[in-house]
Structure 1
Amino acid sequence: MRTETSRAAAERIAPLTRRALAPNPGPFTYTGTCSYIVGSGDVAIIDPGPDDPRHIEALLATISGERLRYVLVTHTHRDHSPAARVLKEATGATIAGCAPYAPCDSSSVGGPNLDAAHDLAYAPDIVLDDGAELAIGDISLLAVATPGHTANHLCFALAKEGALFTGDHVMAWATTVIAPPDGSMRDYLTSVERLLKRDDLIYWPAHGGPVRDPPRFLRALIHHRRAREAAILRRLEAGDETIAEIVAHIYEGVDKRLHPAAAMTALAHLEDLIARGLVDCAGQPVLEARYWRRSV
């Protein structure tokens, strides 16, 4: 019998795919983490979500009578991977997907220690390299390396449905936060360009609804990032010298709870602009540094 705190059963969104929503809505998770159950009989769960008993119970109820072969993880943020080990203990499934988080020296960024955002207890049985395939019954899932949001980020492709499970790499509801040193704007845009060369028909992100025209959406995403980059350069030319000043101007009117994330993404843009010789800074590129447009 389901308890009062149980989540509703997962919804079927495609012949081979069901989606269950974790009860963790917020400014960075939108309506919550989307966990995807792929296959029939023998199944995989992609991005099992947080270690929340209500969500885990809903996932186990959804696959009752089926065999959970794999729990797949796109990246190790704590809203994505912690439920993996609970599901493994309950079912004997294999945890596969991204590599464990490799801590960075966040003092080089000057911001908060980013380790707290990651699931440091994540211990996959199999780390999937780019292009690795896993067979689940009569279907297979392909790992697609997409570093940028995090250094260890993966997407998973289900060729039988023309679907790509994009984690936090591409989302329809919001742009992805890029937080150095683990996140990299250069890597992120390279990963987006790589997806443009694929022929996926639909994206299923870990937060929010699907992207139904991937090529068009990706081109708009690249345009948005380049427009944000141009806005940063304009603010430097106008006399802004700090990330705080830049964010106050560019993100005016945006929920201030999102400004810390905006500051990290601005830092990621500035790192890329410095590497390309368009911007200089005093010392290391950190949140508190002083920046200026380089003379050309």
Structure 2
Amino acid sequence: MSESRLRAGTASVGRVEFEVEFPPGHVACYVVDAGVPVLVDAGMPDERGLGGHDEAFREGLARHGYEVADIEHLVVTHPHVDHIGQVPAVLEAADPTVHVPTGVRERFARDADALARRVRENATMAGLSGDQLEDAVDMARESLERDRSFLPPTAVDHWVDPGETFTVGDLDLTATHTPGHQADHLVYTGSLDGEDALLSGDAGIQPFRPVVIHDGLDDGYRGAFAAFVRGLDRLDDLKPAPDRVYPGHGPVHDDLPGVVERHRGSLERRLDGVREQVADGVRTVPGVAMGIAGDDRSVRYLLPEAMSALAHLESEGEVVATVEDGVRYYDQA
């Protein structure tokens, strides 16, 4: 765990990092001095990654002069576990006003068994079977149940709409919807003592493009690539471009346009790679995902990206799908 003290003009922003096993080895949340302490995202729970995250959270806040009980506002970019893991600690120790993307309300109201059934249908048709199929179904059900236990909808005070401007302490934040990595993802722009800043969660990350997960293997996979592009378009449309970006992974940086351009290129290269695999005779989602993963990556989180890429190419008329024995097979158009 490490933390760094960052500055936007004279308004301070404290960064707290949690060590994790997946690249780039950390996830960050931020505590903003907005006249009152504002926490943006909430890091990892103890049950995941390398553990010790409860202590890392307390020590990280302490290095910036705060205790967990001091938090007066909690602002969430998206409900992935590495960004909401310490929400229960904040709710137990403090009485914060909790601000969460409005799409999460409907998502968390979903019946877990109904979600599991739908994922099973989609995954079976995509060609998953055996342990891989059961893992995908279990992952969908358990993720929903886990995430809404960390971020209980009853604890949310303010469901934030895309495009909405709201006030935390003496700071005005404007929410922009940037789906693709996660369907409800919001980024927040605000002026920190005269500097235009972006609190970006899993958008605008400099070292890598976040995987296209969107809503996993639920029905949103069909539009996930197009959604990711819309999110990038909205980041490009932020005017003026933020002076500084505070992401959930990778360094704080001042090059949002460059990052957006690289992410567009990464998406195109992914589609190019999938086109090549189909041309070479790879016909199923698991086959494409394994080709993406290679020998040194887990296929688990690449299945949604592979499934979404093939659905996108099908929608563009570049591949055609035929159903054989309940499984979709893809070929060049």
TM-score per shorter chain, which class?
0.7 to 0.9
**Alpha-carbon offset, residue 271 of structure 1:** 1.6
Distance 1:220 1:64, change over 3 A: closer
Does 1:289 pair with 2:321? no
Which of 38, 48, 72 pairs up with 1:44? 38
The residue identity in structure 1 corresponding to 2:259 is: F
- 2:16 touches 2:57 (CA, 8 Å); kept in 1? no
Where do residues 196-207 of structure 1 align in structure 2 (5 Å cutoff)?
196-198=236-238, 199-207=241-249
Report the alpha carbon displacement of residue 31 of structure 1 after superposing the two structures with TM.
2.3
The 1-side partners of 2:185 and 2:201 are apart by 8
The residue number in structure 1 matching 2:297 is 256
**Counterparts in 2 of 1:133-148, with a 5 A limit?**
133-148=165-180
The one of 262, 276, 280 aligned to 2:316: 276
Cα gap change, 1:70 to 1:270, in 2 (>3 Å): same
Query: Where do residues 1-296 of structure 1 align in structure 2 (5 Å cutoff)?
Result: 10-15=3-8, 16=11, 17-23=13-19, 25-27=20-22, 30-51=24-45, 52-61=53-62, 62-64=64-66, 67-98=70-101, 99-100=104-105, 101-102=107-108, 103=110, 104=115, 105-110=118-123, 111=133, 112-113=136-137, 114-118=140-144, 119-121=147-149, 122=151, 123=153, 124-160=156-192, 161-179=195-213, 180=216, 181=218, 184-198=224-238, 199-252=241-294, 255-257=296-298, 259-283=299-323, 289-294=328-333
Separation in 2 of the partners of 1:217 and 1:170? 6
Name the CA shift for 1:46/1:240 in 2 (closer, same or farther; >3 Å).
Answer: same
Q: How far apart, CA to CA, are the structure 2 residues paired with 1:125 and 1:266?
A: 36
Q: How far apart are 1:251 and its partner, in Å? A: 4.2
Runs (4+) of structure 1 exceeding 3 A deviation are 100-104, 247-253
| Structure 2 residue aligned with 1:4 | none
Deviates more, 1:122-131 or 1:202-211: 202-211
Paired amino acid for 2:58: E
Q: For the Cα contact (< 8 Å) 2:204–2:256, is it kept in 1?
A: no
Q: 222-231 or 274-283: which moved more?
A: 274-283
Whether contact under 8 Å (2:204, 2:259) holds in the other structure is: no
Partner-residue secondary structure (3-state), 1:178: coil
- Please give the TM-score of this superposition, normalised by the length of structure 1: 0.84
Q: Deviations over 1:109-160 (max 9, x none)?
A: 3151324334122222211001222323332222111121122111111233
Query: What letter matches 1:268 in structure 2?
Result: S
Given that 2:34 and 2:171 are in contact with CA atoms closer than 8 Å, whether structure 1 keeps it comes out as no
In 1, distance between residues paired with 2:243 and 2:142? 35
Count of residue pairs the alignment pairs up: 281
SS at match of 1:260: coil
Structure with the bigger percentage of helix: 2
- Cα–Cα, structure 1 residues 109 and 291, in superposed 2: closer, same or farther, change >3 Å? same
CA contact (8 A) 1:35 1:45 kept: yes
TM-superposed CA distance for 1:11, in Å, is 2.3
What is the SS of the residue equivalent to 2:302? helix
Q: How far apart, in 1, do the equivalents of 2:73 and 2:190 lie?
A: 14
Deviations 1:185-231 (A, max 9, x none): 21111111111111222322111213421112211211221121122
Q: Which moved more, 1:221-230 or 1:178-187?
A: 178-187
The 3 A distance-change label for structure 1 pair 63 and 87 is: farther
Tell me: CA distance 1:60–1:250, structure 2 relative to 1, closer, same or farther (3 Å).
closer
Identity rate of aligned residues, in percent? 20
TM-aligned CA deviation for residue 64 of structure 1:
2.8
AA partner of residue 145 (structure 1): H
Indicate if the aligned counterparts of 2:39 and 2:71 stay in contact, CA closer than 8 A: yes
Equivalent position amino acid for 2:31 in 1: I
Return the offset for 1:59. Answer: 4.9
AA aligned opposite 1:120: R
> Which amino acid letter does the alignment assign opposite residue 138 of structure 1?
D
Helix, strand or coil for the counterpart of 2:5? Answer: strand
Query: What are structure 1's unaligned runs of at least 5 residues?
Result: 1-6
Partner secondary structure for residue 149 of structure 1:
coil
Given that 1:170 and 1:176 are in contact with CA atoms closer than 8 Å, whether structure 2 keeps it comes out as: no
CA contact (8 A) 1:34 1:205 kept: yes
Q: Secondary structure at the match of 2:281?
A: coil
In structure 2, the CA distance between the partners of 1:133 and 1:58, relative to structure 1 (3 Å rule), is farther
